Amino acid sequence: MPPVVAALLRELGSNLALARKRRKESLSTWAGRIGVSEPTLARLEAGDPGVAISTLATALWVMGRAQTLPELAAPQLDLGALESELRVARQRSVRSPVSLDQRLRASKAAPREPSGAG
Protein backbone atom coordinates (compact mmCIF):
# COMPACT_ATOMS: atom_id res chain seq x y z
CA MET A 1 0.00 0.00 0.00
CA PRO A 2 1.38 3.44 -0.86
CA PRO A 3 2.47 5.35 2.26
CA VAL A 4 0.18 8.25 1.37
CA VAL A 5 -2.85 5.92 1.40
CA ALA A 6 -1.83 4.50 4.78
CA ALA A 7 -1.55 8.05 6.15
CA LEU A 8 -4.99 8.95 4.78
CA LEU A 9 -6.52 5.86 6.39
CA ARG A 10 -4.97 6.84 9.72
CA GLU A 11 -6.41 10.34 9.35
CA LEU A 12 -9.84 8.88 8.53
CA GLY A 13 -9.65 6.63 11.60
CA SER A 14 -8.65 9.57 13.75
CA ASN A 15 -11.61 11.57 12.42
CA LEU A 16 -13.96 8.68 13.24
CA ALA A 17 -12.55 8.44 16.77
CA LEU A 18 -12.99 12.18 17.22
CA ALA A 19 -16.61 11.96 16.03
CA ARG A 20 -17.28 9.22 18.58
CA LYS A 21 -15.64 11.16 21.40
CA ARG A 22 -17.48 14.39 20.53
CA ARG A 23 -20.71 12.43 20.85
CA LYS A 24 -19.48 11.24 24.27
CA GLU A 25 -19.88 7.59 23.27
CA SER A 26 -17.67 4.85 24.66
CA LEU A 27 -15.80 2.46 22.42
CA SER A 28 -18.13 -0.28 23.68
CA THR A 29 -21.33 1.65 22.88
CA TRP A 30 -20.15 2.80 19.47
CA ALA A 31 -18.96 -0.71 18.55
CA GLY A 32 -22.39 -2.08 19.51
CA ARG A 33 -24.15 0.50 17.34
CA ILE A 34 -21.91 -0.38 14.38
CA GLY A 35 -22.25 -4.11 15.05
CA VAL A 36 -18.58 -4.91 15.54
CA SER A 37 -16.33 -5.85 18.43
CA GLU A 38 -14.39 -3.23 20.38
CA PRO A 39 -11.06 -4.44 18.94
CA THR A 40 -12.45 -4.07 15.41
CA LEU A 41 -13.62 -0.53 16.16
CA ALA A 42 -10.21 0.26 17.68
CA ARG A 43 -8.56 -1.01 14.49
CA LEU A 44 -10.89 1.15 12.36
CA GLU A 45 -10.06 4.21 14.46
CA ALA A 46 -6.35 3.41 14.09
CA GLY A 47 -6.69 3.35 10.28
CA ASP A 48 -6.09 -0.38 9.89
CA PRO A 49 -6.51 -1.16 6.16
CA GLY A 50 -7.72 -4.68 6.96
CA VAL A 51 -11.02 -3.49 8.45
CA ALA A 52 -13.94 -4.30 6.14
CA ILE A 53 -15.37 -1.49 4.09
CA SER A 54 -18.80 -2.46 5.40
CA THR A 55 -17.59 -1.54 8.89
CA LEU A 56 -16.51 1.87 7.64
CA ALA A 57 -19.79 2.35 5.79
CA THR A 58 -21.78 1.43 8.89
CA ALA A 59 -19.71 3.79 11.05
CA LEU A 60 -20.48 6.58 8.58
CA TRP A 61 -24.16 5.61 8.69
CA VAL A 62 -24.16 5.84 12.50
CA MET A 63 -22.68 9.34 12.12
CA GLY A 64 -25.31 10.30 9.55
CA ARG A 65 -22.69 10.51 6.78
CA ALA A 66 -23.31 7.34 4.72
CA GLN A 67 -24.69 9.43 1.84
CA THR A 68 -21.12 10.64 1.20
CA LEU A 69 -19.93 7.19 0.12
CA PRO A 70 -20.94 7.37 -3.58
CA GLU A 71 -19.20 10.74 -3.88
CA LEU A 72 -15.86 9.06 -3.19
CA ALA A 73 -15.85 7.65 -6.73
CA ALA A 74 -18.21 10.09 -8.46
CA PRO A 75 -17.46 10.18 -12.21
CA GLN A 76 -17.55 13.97 -12.34
CA LEU A 77 -14.76 14.08 -9.75
CA ASP A 78 -12.57 11.47 -11.48
CA LEU A 79 -9.84 13.79 -12.75
CA GLY A 80 -7.82 10.96 -14.29
CA ALA A 81 -10.70 9.89 -16.53
CA LEU A 82 -11.60 13.48 -17.39
CA GLU A 83 -8.01 14.23 -18.39
CA SER A 84 -7.94 11.09 -20.53
CA GLU A 85 -11.17 12.09 -22.31
CA LEU A 86 -9.77 15.56 -22.92
CA ARG A 87 -6.56 14.08 -24.37
CA VAL A 88 -8.60 11.89 -26.75
CA ALA A 89 -10.73 14.86 -27.82
CA ARG A 90 -7.63 16.94 -28.50
CA GLN A 91 -6.06 14.14 -30.56
CA ARG A 92 -9.20 13.88 -32.70
CA SER A 93 -9.22 17.60 -33.41
CA VAL A 94 -5.53 17.52 -34.39
CA ARG A 95 -5.97 14.56 -36.75
CA SER A 96 -8.85 16.03 -38.71
CA PRO A 97 -8.71 19.79 -38.46
CA VAL A 98 -11.61 21.51 -40.12
CA SER A 99 -11.25 25.23 -40.50
CA LEU A 100 -14.05 27.62 -39.72
CA ASP A 101 -14.08 28.60 -43.40
CA GLN A 102 -14.59 24.97 -44.47
CA ARG A 103 -17.44 24.54 -42.00
CA LEU A 104 -19.15 27.71 -43.22
CA ARG A 105 -18.87 26.63 -46.88
CA ALA A 106 -20.27 23.20 -46.01
CA SER A 107 -23.23 24.71 -44.18
CA LYS A 108 -24.03 27.05 -47.13
CA ALA A 109 -23.87 24.16 -49.60
CA ALA A 110 -26.33 22.07 -47.58
CA PRO A 111 -29.80 21.96 -49.16
CA ARG A 112 -32.36 24.15 -47.47
CA GLU A 113 -36.02 23.41 -46.95
CA PRO A 114 -38.37 25.90 -48.55
CA SER A 115 -39.65 28.46 -46.11
CA GLY A 116 -43.36 28.92 -45.71
CA ALA A 117 -44.12 25.25 -46.37
CA GLY A 118 -47.04 23.94 -44.52
Q: What is the pLDDT of residue 83?
A: 80
Other Cβ atoms less than 10 A from the Cβ of 6: the count is: 13
**Sequence-separated (6 or more) residues with CB below 8 Å from residue 44:** 13, 16, 36, 51, 55, 56, 59
pLDDT in tens, 69-109: 999 888 888 888 878 877 887 777 665 556 666 767 777 77
- Mean pLDDT in residue range 50-79: 92
For the chain, the first-to-last Cα distance in angstroms comes to: 69
Q: What is the pLDDT of residue 90?
A: 77
The more confident residue out of 92 and 57 is 57
Q: What is the pLDDT of residue 95?
A: 58
Residue 14 predicted with pLDDT over 90: yes
- Mean pLDDT in residue range 32-43: 96
